[in-house]
Amino acid sequence: MRKVADCRDHPNVSGCTLTISGEEEEVVRAAAEHAVSVDEHEDDAELRQMIRGDLKDEMPAHA
C-alpha cells in the first residue's frame, strides 16, 4: 500500500502544502529531506520516526 505524507497536517514555518506519496521508505526519505531543506528541521531518528508515525494510506484512484 502506498503511503502519503502531507505538510498541511503539521504546523511549519514555511506554510508548506506539499504532499508526498509512494512506498513507505521513499516517502520517509523524501519527507525528511524536505523537512530539512524547507522547514528547518534536523534530519535525525526522531524526525524520521515522527514522519513514519504520521503517514496515511493513499486513497486508491477511482477509475
Query: Is 24 within 8 Å of 3 (Cβ atoms)?
Result: yes
Output the pTM of the full model. 0.86
Q: What whole-number distance in Å separates Cα of residue 43 and Cα of residue 61?
A: 32
pLDDT for position 14? 81
Q: State the cell numbers at 42.
A: 534536523
pLDDT for position 58? 95
Would you say residue 41 has pLDDT above 90? no
List the Cα angle 16/20/21 in 5-degree steps. 160
pLDDT for position 46? 95
Q: State the cell numbers at 27.
A: 516517502
Query: Is 57 within 8 Å of 41 (Cβ atoms)?
Result: no
Q: What whole-number distance in Å separates Cα of residue 30 and Cα of residue 26?
A: 6
pLDDT digits (tens, 9 = 90+) for 12-24: 778 889 999 999 9
